[in-house]
Amino acid sequence: MHSWKIIARGRVQGVGFRHYAQTCARRCGITGYVRNLYDGSVLIEATGDQESLNRFCELLRNANRFIDVRELEIIEQDKTVMYNDFQIL
């Protein structure tokens, strides 16, 4: 298991991105959370296996026409953080 901190930048607030991220996370078996940041970006804390995390990020990059993810900054965490599910904060 791996834990990633992901910062999504682009048109990601006010367009349903957090709900989309939750749907994708559940589809991929990812646990963690998603929340808006004050600078207009979105923070995702995600835990899962490497393949699932890669698929999750691929889905985030290819969202619907209202969402425009221009950048996903991925920071692999030193410690794996375990969550029960994936929540919107």
Q: Is 18 a catalytic residue?
A: yes
Q: Is 65 a catalytic residue?
A: no
Using CA atoms, how far apart are residues 12 and 88, in angstroms rounded to an integer? 14
- Among 36, 54, 55, 61, the active-site one is 36
CA atoms within 13 Å, Cβ hemisphere of 70: 7
Q: Kindly list the catalytic residues.
A: 18, 36
